[in-house]
Structure 1
Amino acid sequence: MPTDLTEVSFTGETVTLAGSLTVPQGPGTPVGGVVMIGGSGPADRDNGGYFPPIRDRLVRAGLAVLSYDKRGVGDSKGDWQESTLDDLADDASAALDFLRAQPRVRADAVGLLGHSEGGWVALRAGAGRADLAWLVTSSCPGTTPAEQERHALAESLRDAVGRPETDAALALYDRLVEAGRRDADHAEARTLLGDTGTPPGSADLWEAATDARFWEFLKRKQDHDPLADAVRLRCPHLAVFGGADPLVPVAKSARAFVAAACRPGRPARATLTVEVVPGADHRLRTDHGVRPAPAYLDLLAGWITGRTPPHPDETP
């Protein structure tokens, strides 16, 4: 399908962000739109190569797609390590408003798609918004970042070292988390680590203990509760997981999102769909991480287009 690809910039509350807007070409009514939000760390508009095949599939489905460099990455201003999840959610909200304002895009048919940490950002940005058509979280934990990181560390250690070493590493992780909750400085974190070294597949807290700015960023986000935002959604929510994701407690996350959807007073429009792609990893890839699972790409396109309301000018 022919497309128009445009380099764009837009301004949030505090920073100017840069990204790429892809819109299907051709006649017809305005199209629905997708804002893609990258994961943790210095995620660019392609999210380290993860977004392009998803973008291509969604555009083929007739959707406009906007993705952007996280603040301080690529051509975006600011500094993600100086931010909070609220700051990143403000950026996502600005991207949503920018896409809704485009002349070829239907303002009533635009949603958010956040991957991993980007799912937490999407939930915070979308909570309570009545103008959000739908929301997708991809490999987004239904737990706090601290709990998710502990799960990932335990999984990485399970087959790499013995039980005593695993228990010792998890106990040290717990002490680092508690130090973060006490707002301990970076020097204390380094002292806690001492000469322990870095365990296989170590959690972000080990890296943070050697990087003062990253330590401060993780302290700010470690106890973020995504369910408080999920409860406030006023639109359909798709939560997709890879069945072989080693980083996310998939079963627990799915149960948590279901519990949030069952809270009294939730708007009738705020439905929840949970999908687990068997054998897929954290990036919903199969074949040893070579390519996105076809079931995942088709699932996204079908679910989103199925929840895009018909244009008022379209006749049944």
Structure 2
Amino acid sequence: MRTRPKRGTSTRRRKVVRTLLATAAALAVLAASLGGVVVWQHSYDLRERAVTIRHGGRVLDGVLALPPQGEGPYPLVVFVHGDGPVDATHDTFYRPIWESLARAGYASLSWNKPGVGGAPGDWLDQTMDDRADEAADAIAWARDQPDVDRGRIGLWGASQAGWVLPKIAAREPGVRFVIAVSPAVNWHRQGRYNLLAELREGGASAAETAAALRRRQTVLDLLRRDASHQEYVRAVDGPDHMTAARWRFVSRNHTADAAADLPALRGVPVLLVLAGHDLNVDTAETEAVYRRLLPGPELRVAHYSDASHSLLRHDVEGSSIRLTLTGLFAPRGLFAEGFLTDQREFLASLGTRATQP
């Protein structure tokens, strides 16, 4: 014989069910709302066009980001990546910058590094001169595009690009401006500064610091005599060895020094962007070298005391939760205060008259 539930029990169950349904509905609305916020925050006032650039018998897969209105031709900012396997949008990191530049009426051009996103080649096979040649070919391609003002093409580059930007200017006297973000100057001094800064940040002891410096000196000695990767692995203790490809890349580039090429930027408007919490680059040395080699009003220096090397807000980058949430819901807020605006104002200050190279 079945027993009917008590009326009170049935009522409570209905209330629980209604509560669960209401909660589920509220969560669905919240999820949809948050999803809408994410989509909206990652919608940029740009017209992006996939482009193909021919370089050295290969093709470079790129993106040409145009202002949302108008027909052009637009002045152009050519993006030069820092270290690592970077794609054309730098995993969307560039889009807030492109949007800000577009508000000053500028287009932006960027491309996948070799071997990234299905592109042929391997970026670890490149020297800084190879990278400059690649950018020069991209500029030559851009000058033939009806959307681009061929007389107003300039460069934007970060970190490792500090060794590439002046080389491009030496090859392309038509470069009209440069935005250099956290650029390095001397490969060896930059590496030492980075090592010591990270050891301090990690609370290393004096003994640990001394051991790390000895290890570094061993690596430098091997590089100077063009040692093989096998020799490097045998000579250097530790689990964090460079791969053979990375060793090859460092071997070909470790003598880089931007000071040799920076005079090519004399007379060119340069915005030097420096961060207050830069563990990678000695910003004091960078500023001193730029001021010494690029005297005059064409050099402008912008300091961001709350920024990390990548010009993200230091407080955000230091927290994985804040970094993730800000990246999802407010990607423009990732950057140090004033960083996006100052670049836009720098470009706006250059005027609008095209100068044919």
Deviations 1:215-259 (A, max 9, x none): 011011111111111112252222111111111101011101111
Partner of 2:253: 221
Q: Tell me, in whole angstroms, the C-alpha distance in 2 between the residues paired with 1:79 and 1:71.
A: 5
Give the unaligned 5+ runs of structure 2. Answer: 1-43, 318-322, 324-333
Partner of 1:161: 204
Partner of 2:166: 123
Deviations 1:41-67 (A, max 9, x none): 111112244212111211222111111
Q: Tell me, in whole angstroms, the C-alpha distance in 2 between the residues paired with 1:279 and 1:190.
A: 39
SS in 2 for 1:299: helix
Q: Tell me, in whole angstroms, the C-alpha distance in 2 between the residues paired with 1:168 and 1:259.
A: 35
Matched ranges for 1:245-260 at <5 A: 245-260=278-293
Q: Tell me, in whole angstroms, the C-alpha distance in 2 between the residues paired with 1:28 and 1:86.
A: 35
TM-aligned CA deviation for residue 2 of structure 1: 5.3
Q: Which moved more, 1:1-10 or 1:182-191?
A: 1-10
Q: Do the aligned partners of residues 72 and 308 (structure 1) sit closer, same or farther apart at CA in structure 2, a change above 3 Å counting?
A: farther
Matched ranges for 1:200-279 at <5 A: 206=241, 208=242, 211-234=243-266, 235-262=268-295, 271-279=298-306
Q: Do the aligned partners of residues 311 and 226 (structure 1) sit closer, same or farther apart at CA in structure 2, a change above 3 Å counting?
A: closer
TM-score by length of 1: 0.87
Partner of 2:39: none
One-letter amino acid of the structure 1 residue matched with residue 265 of structure 2: L
Q: 2:330 aligned with 1:288, yes or no? A: no
Which structure has the highest helix share of the two? 2
Partner of 2:125: 82
Q: 2:155 aligned with 1:112, yes or no? A: yes
Q: Tell me, in whole angstroms, the C-alpha distance in 1 between the residues paired with 2:166 and 2:251.
A: 20
Partner of 1:180: 223
Looking at CA atoms only, which structure, 1 or 2, has the larger radius of gyration? 2
Name the % identity: 30
Q: Tell me, in whole angstroms, the C-alpha distance in 2 between the residues paired with 1:283 and 1:2.
A: 23
Contact 1:35 1:99 in 2 (8 A): no
Flag as ranges the 4+ runs of structure 1 deviating above 4 A: none
Q: Do the aligned partners of residues 19 and 114 (structure 1) sit closer, same or farther apart at CA in structure 2, a change above 3 Å counting?
A: same
| Equivalenced residues, count | 294
Q: Tell me, in whole angstroms, the C-alpha distance in 2 between the residues paired with 1:135 and 1:99.
A: 17
TM-score by length of 2: 0.77
One-letter amino acid of the structure 2 residue matched with residue 73 of structure 1: V
Please give the root-mean-square deviation of Cα atoms over the aligned residues, in Å.
2.0
Q: 2:65 aligned with 1:22, yes or no? A: yes
Partner of 2:98: 55
Deviations 1:75-117 (A, max 9, x none): 4322111121111111111122222322122111110101111
Q: Tell me, in whole angstroms, the C-alpha distance in 2 between the residues paired with 1:197 and 1:75.
A: 30
TM-aligned CA deviation for residue 39 of structure 1: 1.0
SS in 2 for 1:97: helix
Which of 45, 69, 72 is matched with 2:88 structurally? 45
Q: Do the aligned partners of residues 175 and 45 (structure 1) sit closer, same or farther apart at CA in structure 2, a change above 3 Å counting?
A: same
TM-aligned CA deviation for residue 150 of structure 1: 1.6
Partner of 2:12: none
Q: Do the aligned partners of residues 193 and 47 (structure 1) sit closer, same or farther apart at CA in structure 2, a change above 3 Å counting?
A: same
One-letter amino acid of the structure 1 residue matched with residue 248 of structure 2: E
